[in-house]
Amino acid sequence: TQLLEQSPQFLSIQEGENLTVYCNSSSVFSSLQWYRQEPGEGPVLLVTVVTGGEVKKLKRLTFQFGDARKDSSLHITAAQPGDTGLYLCAGAEGAQKLVFGQGTRLTINP
């Protein structure tokens, strides 16, 4: 089974700051997904990246897939308290299952 490592595991910053979360693997993935999860809820899909080097933007969130399709990053600009949550990256292993990282718990303080 392929493994995904996320860093940092915990991040607490002030409102208005920028941050980057990393998702790394020694394996190549055909695609990589980022999810956000609130306490007691299921993960919500934010983005899927498929092509090496691909960059996608979702308002203040920028997602990048590494050239070798082994890693990804999530950058948040001017973080807001509403961005607080657990951010999960997941790689597609074959055609039928996702392998998840352990998550980055992000807290944005007002």
Structure tokens at 1: 């089974």
Do residues 25 and 2 touch, judged by C-beta distance below 8 A? yes
Least Cβ distance, residue 17 to other proteins (angstroms): 24
d(CA 107, CA 18): 12
Query: According to the binding rule CB under 8 A, does residue 24 interact with other proteins?
Result: no
79 vs 95: CA distance, rounded Å: 34
The distance of closest approach from Cβ of residue 29 to other proteins in the complex, given in angstroms and rounded to an integer, is 9
Q: 7 - beta bridge partners?
A: 22
Residue 11 binds other proteins, judged by CB under 8 A: no
Question: 23: which 2 tokens?
Answer: 């998702």
Report the DSSP beta bridge partners of residue 56: 63
Convert residues 33-62 into a mask of x (bound to other proteins by CB under 8 A) and - (unbound): x-x----xxxxxx--x-x------------
According to CB under 8 A, which one of 24, 62, 73, 102 is a site residue for other proteins? 102
Residues in touch with other proteins (CB under 8 A): 4, 30-31, 33, 35, 40-45, 48, 50, 88, 90, 92, 95-103
